[in-house]
Amino acid sequence: MLVVGGGIIGTATAFFLSRRSDRSIALVDKENVASGATGDSSAILRHTYGDRDLYSRMAWAGREFYQRFEAETGYPLDAPSQPLVQWGGPAGGHFESPMSSYETLRSLDYPVTRYEAEELPDRFPLFEFKEGFEYAISDDAAAYSDGTDAANGFLKAAQDNGVEVVTGVTVESIDVEDGSVVGAETDDGYVACSDVVLAAGSWNHKIAATADVEIPITPGREQVLLLKPPAELSDEEVKSIMTTGWGSPRPDGVWWYFRADFGGTIYMGTHARNDPVDPDRYSRQPDMQRKVEAFEILDEFAPALADSEVMGEFCGVYANTPDQGFIIDEVDHDGLYALVGAGHAFKHAPVIGQLAADLVVDGESERFDLEHFTVDRFDDRSPDQGFPETVSLADLHGTTSAPETK
């Protein structure tokens, strides 16, 4: 059995497969573990998905796994608590009200708090609240972690269970005979196998295409700044910065989110769908326009952070699907499986890995209904078919965003 991709989904899947199956398993990555989107990830563990309780429940299960990660895998992982806050009212820049997330979390009995307008200045002293802020919703059980540490922990645990790991090798094509997988061609030779699990993120559709399979993925570039907070802020004040975000008012603007990070720094990144790229050819340097936009947002919304210094910057890619939902499916050929995290894989990776293992070993899962994640839910598998009217990017990614540029 071959798992393609050493990111958080691939390593989690290899780990759970190694616990479920006594078959020979190999994981291959064209570079190194967590060298793609996982290494760039903000690794936020939140539960806010509007009224889509399926994703909230999966995220809850994922966060719980991360918080017992060492007991499950044998390897440590830091996952400190950090509430995620959304802002309500006309000044909040939302596609729709954060109350949908609030009501969903309450219905699931997950910790969530609503703060009224008069409470906001005292509760969030580093932020500026002008007229139009009516309330805030806090996902109180949210947290964050580190994508590279998690992927390496999963990988080491998988190796302990007998999984072979090969890095620096590219899978060039999938070999299919009579509708079944029989192997894969790599730049280091042929691998005979009856099952291939594609967990290569923004490269999944390219590899699948070699077996005449269409997977609707549009890789999108996301831009990240690593900030050093102003010296006048205490360590405790920096640690108190929750996960939150703000949409740019520019016509071509995007939503920027940020959180306190390990080492007393701040992670600040975009979330948008208006920058499609080839994952093999894209600029790793954030656009000057976006950096200016980020500091404009801080100046208006979080002035205490406006004098932060840029310590580092980079861009990564999300494997966007037409509805920003996951793909966890056996696609077109017996033994060919596709796993796509759609830009919010980290928090769900423990669940995706378990569902993938269930699918490969049993053909079904009792954890969650796999019908929600099939490729066939798309009327047209082309990645540019657009988002269904019933699914909004904001709903799947936190409900705080500037209007999308068409």
pLDDT tens-place string over residues 95-107: 557 999 999 999 9
Domain span(s) for CATH 3.30.9.10 in the chain:
218-320
pLDDT tens-place string over residues 265-288: 999 999 877 788 999 999 999 999
- CA separation for the pair 397, 113 (Å, rounded): 19
pLDDT tens-place string over residues 151-188: 999 999 999 999 999 999 999 999 999 999 999 999 99
Domain span(s) for CATH 3.50.50.60 in the chain:
2-74+146-217+322-385
Give the model's confidence band at 291: pLDDT under 50 very low, under 70 low, under 90 confident, else very high: very high
Give the model's confidence band at 332: pLDDT under 50 very low, under 70 low, under 90 confident, else very high: very high
- CA separation for the pair 345, 56 (Å, rounded): 13
pLDDT tens-place string over residues 21-59: 999 999 999 999 999 999 999 999 999 999 999 999 999
Q: Would the pTM count as exceeding 0.85?
A: yes
Round the average pLDDT of the chain to a whole number and report it: 91
Please answer whether residues 198 and 5 qualify as being in contact, where contact means their C-beta atoms are separated by less than 8 angstroms: yes
Give the model's confidence band at 398: pLDDT under 50 very low, under 70 low, under 90 confident, else very high: very low
Q: Average pLDDT for residues 90-117, to the nearest whole number?
A: 86
Find out if CATH 3.40.47.10 is the number for domain 2-74+146-217+322-385. no
**219 phi/psi in degrees, rounded to 5:** -65, 130
Q: CA separation (Å) from 28 to 210, 309, 355? A: 17, 38, 20
Q: Which residues of 71-104 are buried (b: 16+ CB within 10 A; e: fewer)?
A: ebbebebebeebbbbbbbbeebbbbebbbbbbbb
Show Cβ contacts of residue 268 under 8 Å, excluding neighbours closer than 6 positions.
224, 225, 226, 227, 256, 257, 258, 294
pLDDT at position 385 is 54
Architecture of domain 218-320: 2-Layer Sandwich (3.30)
Show Cβ contacts of residue 257 under 8 Å, excluding neighbours closer than 6 positions.
42, 44, 243, 244, 245, 268, 269, 271, 398, 400
- CA separation for the pair 13, 367 (Å, rounded): 15
- CA separation for the pair 175, 374 (Å, rounded): 22
Beta bridge partners of 250: none
Give the model's confidence band at 383: pLDDT under 50 very low, under 70 low, under 90 confident, else very high: low
At residue 268, the 3 state secondary structure works out as strand
